[in-house]
Chains A and B, each alone.
Chain A
Amino acid sequence: MPSKMIKPVMSAEEAVKHIVQGSSVMVGGFNYGGVPYTLVDALVDYGVKDIELIANDTLYEGVGHGKLIQTEQVKKVIASHVGLNKATQRLFNEEKLELELVPQGTFVERIRAGGFGFGGFLTPTGVGTVHEKGKEVMEVQGRKYILELPLKADVALIRGYKADRYGNLTYFGTNRNFNPLMATAAEIVIAEVDSICEVGEIDPNDVVTPGILVDYLVLKGDSYYATRT
């Protein structure tokens, strides 16, 4: 019996079966960078619907999780920027897609709150704008802040660089972005990586995400963007 500390390595097709109709799914990435392209493509093929997508942006039409919007597998998006994907704009205008736009610094901090056990946090970002609508505004030491609430998900699809069999992860270049925090804030964390090595082969100084946060490992595939990022 393999120890539970050893994380299963599986195909993207197998891994995305953890997502069911109505699941909330965090997907790492900023623009082209740090997107788990192979997992997202598998999710498109799997076809499960009514996903609540939590991602910084919805990329471009036909790229990464931008495809999930086009296939209408997403019922709600929580993101900071969706301007580059025409399908997001179109489906939102047709009222086929719910959209919650969050300032990017607030977005990432809400994920931290979700993953690290905070009940919320106070930020000055958005005070006096429509973003504060429906939220509690509090004055602390003479400055106004918005009370923002945590974000969590059923499943996080993240993108790492190297993994060992414990699921310890390193990141590369600007692919890091939201991935380390998303690994803290979901029930099931699936990491797509460039390579998988034996336990002990990654210098502990280089580990950014400890393996205790990661449930499954998937090797990146050979799609255009997976190979280039």
Chain B
Amino acid sequence: MTVLADLALKSAAAGALSLALGGAPLGVLLVARRMSLMGDAMSHALLPGVAIAFLLAGPDPVALTLGALAAALVVAAASTLFSRARAMPEDASFAVFYLTALAAGVLILGRSVGEEVVHALLFGAPGALDAHGLILAASAATATLVSLAFFVRGFLAEGADPVFMRAARAPGWALHILLMMLVALNLVAGFRAFGALMTVAMMMIPAASARYWARGYVGQAGAAILLSATASGAGLLLAGMFGVEPGAVMTLAAAALFAGSAVVGPINGLIQNLPGRAHLEG
């Protein structure tokens, strides 16, 4: 296909596929744990890290990535510590940390020419996915899938019944931190190409849609990967055709798939729940 002949678009497609493989299964865990806004919070928190990196090293891609990663990990660790101390509900501690981070980022950017940073955070630039960027995205996906394969029992148990896991002396906090780090890694891998907020969208919207397709975690993760990859493909093609920002179009495509899932999905979809069909089961 002529559109895909464009190298930048090919890179973007590979990056988006990595994001689907890594981000979507994490999104399913976050949705299930009622932490849907956590990714959002963390993406805002990238701002000061990227801004400081920009101040120190200019628009160097490695520096921007490291800055983002450092900021995301600091916010993830700090808010985890606060909520584990049970002084604060997790969403509240996230709100505190990400708004603080956002304010710090705004302050730093106000003192420098940060257009590149703001643009990267909001829109992303698919051209930014050079070889390094692709390796990072593929590594994030690999690390995520390997971690999920190893620790899936722990993630599910900790998410479904944290009280039981505490009584069983399971290392819930370690699993929690691992989950946060994986979210941070995928976010950082995606933000320069697709924008931080749009990267989160590709993590969370397919995950939410997947609840209309499957009941168990594995089914939902598989559905989320497929939905995310489909939305990315469609979004990239449409963005290429109309010359607009791909991150936003990918997100809108994911939202369209969400709407479609909510109508035709076999689990609590609108059609499934029509009067007369509601009592077919059990």
Binding between chains A and B: no
The residues of A with any CB-CB pair to B shorter than 8 Å are none
Chain B positions near chain A (C-beta within 8 angstroms): none
